């Protein structure tokens, strides 16, 4: 795709303050000299103080989004999906706002416990839980464990002490395709998660759990995908799950008290993109659940939802510094000091972002450029064909909004660049939550000499 300067006769303008900040934290404001503040903290000052690459996380935005979910689902359990982003401060914020926590490994579980998170409000997930995962969850008193395969049933039952009972749920594949990319669609038959209703695997697992005296089946779980912007798939999933709950009642005489419909709630990464409307989701899902249970003569189970990206994604901004600007074969490449080691999502899913130059006012006409990372990979692209000032140059700062989820949590050690720090901003102050990964950190793990 050729990249050219945008002509004066038909310019594509750089984002105005209102449009350009549409996918930024709600506290973001344009400031003098082309700067942007988040929670009254200058991003330019933050970059100077903490270095780049840098993640900036708006604590107030995270808390506000937690409260919005509690308001939308007042009689449900709202569980934060820690895989989106987890540190001790994030666990504390979630606990403060009355949410539970969904973890997928002993690592996430251990970090949550060191932050003092109540074990009874933790849910353990995962399609292939290790014996250590299960043992640690039982030992620490995790509230619920979601069983993803029949092999986990006997394994978990053998870990639970005599006289105790572990609350479990069965992860069900409802046969619904939803999600922003094929690699994130988890509600269909042709992927690794869950047990199918269609082939009877879910029903078989339910019967096996009920035969285990150390396991207490408290409900069913499904998760149909990620980055979903439509309410319809969730309504369909609720309908199918109520149908299975009716089968459980009819075949086993058990009215399950809980239903977990997972998360996957989509956000906008660029102005104009769709996101999932929380109020509409809550109204439609709760209505479908009530109507379906009334029709089946079932008591309405306690609902659980598991937002992750929707709570933390829009609260984060990644800040990079430009290292080089290169024109080749009609394209302009703006290379920054991070890339796929701190954000693999463009390479994995073709995600598109809306980066913006900050910290310097420019009157240059905008030009289409490709923002790339510093790593030895042709696919190391941060954002393709985006408008930046035509005079962008080394030393400039580039900020990428909607960077709070699946960035640091998916970061790697590629090229031994070191993972960026995370700072929290609130009421004009900034504090470090996670420090930058140093060369000493990486060297300490290498003990081969």
pLDDT one-digit tens code per residue, 290-313:
999 999 999 999 999 999 999 999
Contacts of 230 (CB under 8 A, 6+ apart): 178, 276
**Rounded to an integer, what distance in angstroms lies between the CA atom of residue 215 and that of residue 205?**
12
Residue-level pLDDT at 226? 85
Residue-level pLDDT at 180? 56
**Rounded to an integer, what distance in angstroms lies between the CA atom of residue 367 and that of residue 370?**
10
pLDDT confidence bin for 17, thresholds 50/70/90: very low
* CB contact at 8 A, 165 and 216: yes
pLDDT confidence bin for 14, thresholds 50/70/90: very low
pLDDT confidence bin for 448, thresholds 50/70/90: confident
**Rounded to an integer, what distance in angstroms lies between the CA atom of residue 138 and that of residue 140?**
6
Catalytic residue, chosen from 66, 87, 293, 376, is 376
Please give the domain boundaries of the chain with CATH numbers for all domains.
Answer: 17-57+314-445 (2.40.37.10), 73-307 (3.20.20.10)
What is the distance, to the nearest Å, from the Cα of residue 227 to the centroid of all Cα atoms in its chain?
9
For 233-300, give the DSSP string.
HHHHHHHHHHHHHHHHHHHH-----EEE----B---SSTT-----HHHHHHHHHHHHHHHHHHHT-PP
Q: Is the pLDDT of residue 396 over 50?
A: yes
Token pair in block for residue 287? 């209505």
Q: What per-residue string of b and e applies to 205-239 under the rule 16 or more CB within 10 Å gives b?
A: bbebbbebebbebbbbbbbbbbbbbebebbbbbbe
**Is-catalytic flag, 376?**
yes
**Rounded to an integer, what distance in angstroms lies between the CA atom of residue 170 and that of residue 66?**
26
Region of residue 145 (left: phi > 0; alpha: psi -120 to 50; beta: else) = beta
Q: Is the pLDDT of residue 340 over 70?
A: yes
pLDDT confidence bin for 18, thresholds 50/70/90: very low
* CB contact at 8 A, 256 and 217: yes
Q: Is the pLDDT of residue 189 over 80?
A: no
Q: Is the pLDDT of residue 11 over 60?
A: no
């Amino acid at each position: 795709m050729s990249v050219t300067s945008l002509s004066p006769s038909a310019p594509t303008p750089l984002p105005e303050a209102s449009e350009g900040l549409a996918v930024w934290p709600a506290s973001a404001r344009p400031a003098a000299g082309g700067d942007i503040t988040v929670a009254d903290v200058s991003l330019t000052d933050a970059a100077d103080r903490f270095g780049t690459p840098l993640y900036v996380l708006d604590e107030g935005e995270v808390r506000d989004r937690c409260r919005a979910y509690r308001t939308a689902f007042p009689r449900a359990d709202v569980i934060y999906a820690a895989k989106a982003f987890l540190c001790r401060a994030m666990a504390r914020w979630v606990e403060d706002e009355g949410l539970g926590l969904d973890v997928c490994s002993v690592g996430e579980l251990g970090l949550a416990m060191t932050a003092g998170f109540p074990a009874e409000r933790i849910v353990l997930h995962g399609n292939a839980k290790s014996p250590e995962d299960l043992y640690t969850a039982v030992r620490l008193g995790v509230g619920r464990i979601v069983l993803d395969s029949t092999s986990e049933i006997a394994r978990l039952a053998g870990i639970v002490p005599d006289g105790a009972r572990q609350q479990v749920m069965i992860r069900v594949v409802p046969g619904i395709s939803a999600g922003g990319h094929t690699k994130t669609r988890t509600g269909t038959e042709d992927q690794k998660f869950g047990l199918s209703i269609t082939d009877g695997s879910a029903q078989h697992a339910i019967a096996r759990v009920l035969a285990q005296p150390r396991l207490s089946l408290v409900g069913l779980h499904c998760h149909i995908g990620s980055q979903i912007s439509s309410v319809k798939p969730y309504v369909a999933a609720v309908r199918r799950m109520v149908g299975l709950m009716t089968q459980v009642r009819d075949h086993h005489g058990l009215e399950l008290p809980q239903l977990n419909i997972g998360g996957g709630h989509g956000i906008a990464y660029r102005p104009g993109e769709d996101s999932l409307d929380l109020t509409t989701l809550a109204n439609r899902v709760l209505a479908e659940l009530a109507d379906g249970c009334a029709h089946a003569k079932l008591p309405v189970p306690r609902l659980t939802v598991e937002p992750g990206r929707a709570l933390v994604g829009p609260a984060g901004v990644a800040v990079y510094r430009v290292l080089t600007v290169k024109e080749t074969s009609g394209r302009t490449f703006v290379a920054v000091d991070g890339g796929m080691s701190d954000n693999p999502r463009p390479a994995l899913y073709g995600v598109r972002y809306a980066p913006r130059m900050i910290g310097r006012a420019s009157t240059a006409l905008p030009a289409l450029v490709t923002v790339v990372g510093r790593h030895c990979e042709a696919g190391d692209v941060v954002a393709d064909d985006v408008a930046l000032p035509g005079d962008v140059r080394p030393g400039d700062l580039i900020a990428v909004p909607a960077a709070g989820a699946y960035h640091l949590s998916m970061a790697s050690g590629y090229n031994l660049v070191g993972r960026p720090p995370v700072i929290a901003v609130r009421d004009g102050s900034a504090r470090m939550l996670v420090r930058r990964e140093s060369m000493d950190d990486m060297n300490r793990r290498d003990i081969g000499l």
